[in-house]
Amino acid sequence: MVFRSGKSWLLLSWILLTAGCTSQQPEQEPTHEDLRLLPGRFADEPVRKPLVAKEAYIGSEQFFVAYEGEDGLVYSGGNWSNRVDLTALRQGPDGDYAGPFILPLEYHRAKRWDRLPEDPIVPRLLSSKYWNRFIDEVFETVLPKADMTGIVMHFGEEDYFLFNNDINNFEARLIIDKPDNYVVAETIDFMDFIKRAQPVLDRFLDGEGIDDRRIVFSTGDTGSYSLPFIFIDRDIPIGIFVRYAPPPPEGPAASKAAQIAQSTGHVAQSHLGGLLSRPVSSVYRLLFVAKDAAVETVTPSWMVTLEAEPIPPLSDGPGMDLDAWEEKLTRITGHEATRGTIDYLVDGEAFFVRYIDAISTATQSVDIRTYIFDNDDFAAKIRDLLRRRSDEGVDIRMLLDGLGTIVATGADDESMPADYAGPQSVRESLESGSKIRVRQSKNPWLVAGDHVKTTIVDNRIAFAGGMNIGREYRFVWHDLMMELHGPVVDVLRQEFERAWAHAGPFGDAGLVLSTLQPRDNNSENVGYPIRVLHTRPGDAEIFRAQRAAIRNAKKYIYIQNAYFTDDAMLYELAKARRRGVDVRVILPLVGNHGPINKSNVLAANAMLEHGIRVFVYPGMSHIKAAVYDGWACLGSANWDKLSFRTNKELNIATSHAPYVDALLAQVFTPDFAMSPELTEPFPVRWSDHLMEIVADYLL
C-alpha cells in the first residue's frame, strides 16, 4: 500500500480503528466491496456486557484492537487494505463528514498479537463516562424534551432509534428494535447529526482538557446492532461507527430450484384446490379476461385519426368544476366518498421509518396486504419485527399474492449484500416459530393477481400506495405511500377482511359471508372527502374514473407511472391535448420489465407526436399518481391492462385542495424539475413493436 499524503494515512487510521469491536470467530474473508454497505460479521449471540477499548494500533495493512468484554481481554483485528479505497474518502466541499462507514471484525482471540506494525497510529481512547457526559450535552440540543420519545438517525443502510431510556441513559437501537412505548419525534440523517454534534464536541473536549484530534468513545451500548464504539476525527472531519450483527437466518436458503418448485406448487393449488373452493370467482375471472382480450383484439386504435388535427395552444381558462366532478364520480362508481386525512410518504426512507414506528407501537393488530414480501435482507428485518410483535401479543395477519411473492424472491436486487442468503420460503420464515398468520392469494389462469398494498395498524392507522416489502423499495426506487386516518381506515379494513376471507379455506363462501357482515366503525370521524377506488375482475372502476377525469379535464393533466401500455388511455390523453389541456407524463429512465420498457418507448414517442410533454425520470420511479385539474388519484394501479381491468388494485382519490397541493409540491414539482424533458423521439427497432404486443396483452 502506497500512501499519497499524510492526510491519507490519517484517513486510514480513522477507518480502521472502529473495526475491532465485536466478539466473533474467524471466518472466510468476505467479498463484498462496498464499504458503505458492508455488514458486520454475524455473532452467535448478542453481546450483553459493554465493551471497553484498551489498545488500538493501525498499520499499513492490518489493524489491531484489544477490548475488555464478557470473555475478558480480547485481542482482535483484521486486514483492511483490500477493502478501503482511499480515493472515495475525500472531504466534501463544505467540510461535511465523510461516511458513515462500517468495517467487520475478522477474528477474536485470548492470546496477544504476535507482531504489531512499525510506527503504528495510536488513537486516544475515552471511556463511557466521557461519552455519557458528551452525549447528554448533545442530546440537550438534538433529542426531544418530551418523555418516551427519541429520534431516528439514518446510518448508511440502517435506521437507528436514539433515545434516553427510563433511567436517563443513552441507547441506540435499530428502529425495528425500538421500545414499543417510545415514539419517533424526528428523523435525521447521519450528516445532520454530526453537524449538530460537532460544535458540542469541540466545547466538551476543550472543557475536559482533551486536545487529541482522533478519539474513540466506548459508548457502553450493547445488544444486536448496537453502537459500542464511535470514532470521530476533529480535523477532516470523519465519523465511523461499529455495530454488532444479528445471528444468521435459520432454515434452508433460497435457490432457483426451490423457487421453481414453489411456483409449480402454487400454480397447481391455484388451478386445482383453488377451483374447488373458488369456482365462481375463478370461472368468472377467466370469462372476463377472455372477453376483454377479444374486445381489445377487434377494437382499432384511433391514434392515427388525430394526426390530421392541429395541436392547439394551451388553454388559459379555468379547470373543471370539482364539485360537479365529484357528483359525477359518484354516479360513475356507484358509491359516495368517505372521509379521512392523508400524509404523503415519499420514498422508502420516509415510508419505512414511519411504517416500522407504527408497527412497533401497535397494541392490538397489524393487517398487511401486499403483492410482494421479498426474501432479501431488508424484508428479513421487517419479518423479524413482525415475529417479535406477534410474540408480544399483537395479532399479525399477512395476505400475500402467491405468485407475485414467489417470483420476486427469485430476482435479487443488485444492491443486496453478496454474502446474504435469503430464506427458501417467505411464508415459512414468517410462520415458523411465530404466531403470525399468513395466507396467499391464488392466481387462477396466471393472469390476475392481488396487487393491492395496504397495512392497517390497530384499526386506526392505514398505509396505502405502491410499495411492496423489499430492499429496492427502501433503498433504490422512487416510490410513494400514504398514511391515512379517519373513516377511510374502516373502508380499507373491510376490504382486507373480504380479501382475507376469500384467500382462506372457504374461498367464495368465505367472501360472501364476509361481505354480509356489518362494518365496524372504529376510526375517529376526522378529515375531508376521500374516495377509495378499485379494480376487480369485472369492475374496472379505476379505469373508468380516470378515463372520465381525462375527458373532463380542461386545464392540466399530470401523470407519473412506470407502466404505460394501455392504448385506449393514450388515445384519451391525445384527445385531451387537442382540447388545449396541458398534458405531462413522467416515465422512468429504466423500468424493471423488459417488454414494458419497450412499450414505454413507443408510448413516449406517440405522446410526443401528439403534443404531450414527456419527462424522463433519472432512475426507476415506481410512483403511480395522477392529478387532473385538482383531482388526485394515486395508489397501486399502473397504466396497463392488468391494473385497469384484471388485477385487484386500490387507489385513493380526492379533490380536497390541501391534499392535492401537497401531492403536487412533494412529488410532481420536484420530479418535473429533476427529469429531463424528451424533445426528440426515442429510436425504435422492429422488435419493440413485438414487445409492445406482449406488454399490451400480458403485462
- Residue 277 placed within a domain: yes
Both 593 and 482 in one domain: the answer is no
Confidence (pLDDT) at 480: 98
Of 493, 526, 559, the residue that ends a domain is 526
pLDDT of residue 234: 76
What is the rounded CA–CA span in Å between residue 642 and residue 517?
A: 30
Q: Are both 479 and 549 inside the same structural domain?
A: no
Sorted by sequence, the CB contacts under 8 Å of residue 387 that are 6+ apart come out as 430, 433, 434, 436
User: Same structural domain for residues 418 and 512?
Assistant: yes
One domain for residues 540 and 633: yes
User: Given this model, what pLDDT does residue 1 score?
Assistant: 25
Sign of CA dihedral 691, 693, 698, 699: positive
The pLDDT of residue 286: 58
- Residue 698's pLDDT band, with cuts at 50, 70 and 90, is very low
Domain with residue 286: its CATH number is 3.30.870.10
Sign of the torsion formed by the C-alpha atoms of 596, 600, 606 and 610: positive
Helices (H), 590-631: 594-609
pLDDT the model gives residue 3: 27
Q: At what angle do helices 541-552 and 322-333 cross, to 10 degrees?
A: 150
pLDDT at 665 over 90: yes
**Which tops the pLDDT comparison, 173 or 643?**
643
∠ CA(460), CA(466), CA(471), 5° rounding? 100
The answer to whether residue 684 scores a pLDDT higher than 90 is no
Map grid coordinates 370461472 to a residue: 283
| pLDDT at residue 106, rounded to an integer | 73
The answer to whether residues 278 and 416 belong to one domain is yes
Residue 432 in any domain: the answer is yes
Location of C-alpha cell 459493554: 50
Judge whether 691 lies within some domain.
yes
Residue 647 confidence (pLDDT) above 60: yes
Task: Identify which of 418, 421, 566, 562 has the alpha carbon closest to the alpha carbon of residue 37.
Answer: 418
The residue to which cell 403511480 is assigned: 624
Alpha helices per DSSP H over 432-540: 471, 487-502, 507-516
d(CA 416, CA 298): 45
Instruction: Concatenate the DSSP letters of all residues of 393-411 into one string.
Output: T-EEEEEEEHHHHHHHTTS
pLDDT, one tens digit per residue, over 555-598 is 999 999 998 878 889 999 999 999 999 999 999 877 555 444 66
Contact 587, 615 (CB under 8 A): yes
Cell of 182: 417510545
* C-alpha cell read off for 16: 480502521
- Average pLDDT of the chain is 79
Same domain, 484 and 624: no
Quick check: is 325 in a domain? no
> Could you tell me which residue, 121 or 151, shows the higher pLDDT?
151
Residue where a domain stops, chosen among 242, 275, 305? 242
519, 559: one domain: no
Total number of domains in the chain: 3
pLDDT higher than 80, residue 25: no
- Predicted confidence at residue 43, as pLDDT, reads 31
Domain that holds residue 509: 256-293+339-526
**Model confidence pTM above 0.85:** no
State the pLDDT at residue 302.
63
Is pLDDT at 663 greater than 90 in this prediction?
Answer: yes
541 DSSP 8-state letter:
H
- Domain check: are 162 and 261 in the same one? no
Tell me, yes or no, whether 456 lies in a domain: yes
249, part of any domain: no
**What is the C-alpha R_g of the chain?**
28
What values do phi and psi take at 50, rounded to 5?
-55, 140
pLDDT given at position 261: 58
394 and 445 share one domain: yes
pLDDT of residue 596: 47
Amino acid 19: pLDDT:
31
Residue 66: inside a domain: yes
User: Does residue 522 sit in the same domain as residue 538?
Assistant: no
Q: What percent of the chain has pLDDT over 90?
A: 40
Whether the ω angle into residue 683 lies within 30 degrees of 0, i.e. cis, is no
Q: Per residue in 678-694, is it b (16+ CB within 10 Å) or e — as a string? A: beeeeeeeeebeebbee
Do residue 676 and residue 622 come from a single domain? Answer: yes
Domain check: are 510 and 551 in the same one? no
**Cβ(625)–Cβ(560) below 8 Å:** yes
Lowest-confidence pick of 105-114, 273-282, 394-403, 614-623: 273-282
Q: Identify the three-state secondary structure at position 695.
A: helix
**Is residue 303 in a domain?**
no
- Identify which has the larger pLDDT, 359 or 687: 359
Query: Which of 216, 242, 268 is the last residue before a domain boundary?
Result: 242
